[in-house]
Structures are given as C-alpha cells and as structure tokens.
Chains A and B, each alone.
Chain A
Amino acid sequence: MVITVNHYLVLSLILFTIGMIGVIVRRNAIVILMSLELMFNAAGINLVAFAKAMEQFSGQVFAIFIITIAAGEAAVGLAIIIAMFRNKQTVQVDEVSIMKW
C-alpha cells in the first residue's frame, strides 16, 4: 500500500468539487469566499504533489504564489462585502441584483 500522486490528485479533485458546490449553491457571500479558499487549497495540494513527484521546487514556489494571491483576493473580496453590506444591508448574493437586467 503506497501513496502515489494519484491519491493526492483524487483528494484535491474532491476538495475542488466541494468548494465549487459551495460557490454555486450558497447565498451568503462570506461562505462563498470561504469556498473559494477551499478551491485554492485544492490547487495548492496538486502543485505540491507534482513538485514531490518531479523532485523539484518549482511547484512549491507556485503554491506560495497561490497562497499570496488568495490573501489578496480575500482582502479585496471582504472589502467588497463590507461595502455591499453598508449600501444594501445584506450579504445574500441574490438580493444584490441591481446589475441584472
């Protein structure tokens, strides 16, 4: 019984799908951002598993880039949620439909 790259790929596949279901299904904008973080983590697991398989550091460097981008995304996203709450008094995404025709 040996753990291969495929095990990590399947795990990150499951994690990515859970995050995608969260993004599509939930109404709360904060939970949608949390599900996005789950998807970022799935991508990170993929990169680190391939870095191990190919015995080089590039995958880990890109995983660090992903973590940095996730931090920036969370900061801007949460600022948008605060602005949305201040203007509309809600964090439910389907109640903010002013740009929908």
Chain B
Amino acid sequence: MLAYGQPIVFYTLALITVISAILVVSRRNAVHSAIFLILTFFCVAGLYILLHAEFLAAVQVLVYAGGIMVLFVFVIMLVNVEEAAAVKATHRQATFGIGIALLMFIFLAVVVYKGVFREFGKLPDVGATLGHTEGVGWRLFLDYLLPFEILSMLLLIAMVGAIVLSKKDV
C-alpha cells in the first residue's frame, strides 16, 4: 500500500494540473481562467511537497495564489470582461501557432527522451533535511547572496515601472 502511495498522489496531482492548465488556456471568460490558474498553482505546490520542497510550496501558495492572482483578478475587474468575452477568443494565425507549438513540443520531447537525464533515474529517498527552510536559507544567503541582492533591485525596478506605467498620462 505504501509503495503505491507516491505514484497515486503524483498522477492525481499531475492530471489535475494538466487539465486545469488546459482549461486556463481554453476558457473564453478570463475570470474562469484565473480560477483554474489558482487550481494549477495549488497542484504545483502539492508536487513541490512531494519533492520535499516544503518551503518552496509555501512560497508558491503565498506569492502566486495569494499575490499574483489578486493582481490578475483586480485587472480583470478593471477592464470590462463582458465585452472581451463576446468577441473571438483566438488569434488569426491560431492554427499556424499551434503547429509551431507542437513542433517545439516534439523537439523538447526528443531532448527529454534522448538526453542525459536518463542516468538520474530513481529519485533518492532523502529524509526531512532536503527542502528544509534552514538549508534553503543557508544556500540563499551564502552561495547566492549576490543574485539575491540583484533580485531585490529587480523587484524595486519592477515596482517603479508598474507605478509609472499606471499613471494617468502614459
């Protein structure tokens, strides 16, 4: 029973993730897309827990489902949805674009199938040490301190840019 526990959880989460991602893309109403996107984020957080990345799962729920989705729903409510839902949902070059995307899918699938990733195989059964908040913190503030600081500058610039762009006279 225990041996089948992880595959069952993985396949369930993966199935819900893929189905809700398809619904995000295919729903005409942007509000429905946003709701299914929240479902996708929660399922990805579940996959992170399955991979022993508990801190990352918490960050995923807080930042994505809590922060970014509030922004999205706010903007959807700001621009009127009814008018947007009435018109044609797809682009003029939709068939051509899907062809290009499937070509990219085949290319990446060949890379995954033939690539060097095969040698990893089975995931190591590590204990509770991996994904521990303390371990991530040590990495983040010792090895990756400079990228971390650069990222804070990036967030500041993004904040300034967002404020300037939403001013009255742009």
Contacts and interface: CB of A to CB of B under 8 A. Distances in A.
B101 A20 contact: yes
Contacts of B131: 60
A5 B97 contact: no
Contacts, number: 241
Query: For chain B, what secondary structure do more than half of its interface residues adopt (helix, strand, loop), or is it mixed?
Result: helix
A30 B72 contact: yes
Contacts of B75: 30, 78, 81-82
Contacts of B4: 1
A80 interface: yes
Which range contains the number of B residues in contact with the other chain? 35 or more
A24 B59 contact: no
Contacts of A21: 25, 97-98, 101
A13 B105 contact: yes
A75 B122 contact: no
A4 B56 contact: no
Given A41-B41, A57-B135, A81-B79, 12 more contacts: A3-B7, A5-B117, A5-B123, A7-B10, A26-B25, A30-B79, A54-B120, A58-B144, A60-B131, A71-B67, A75-B71, A85-B78
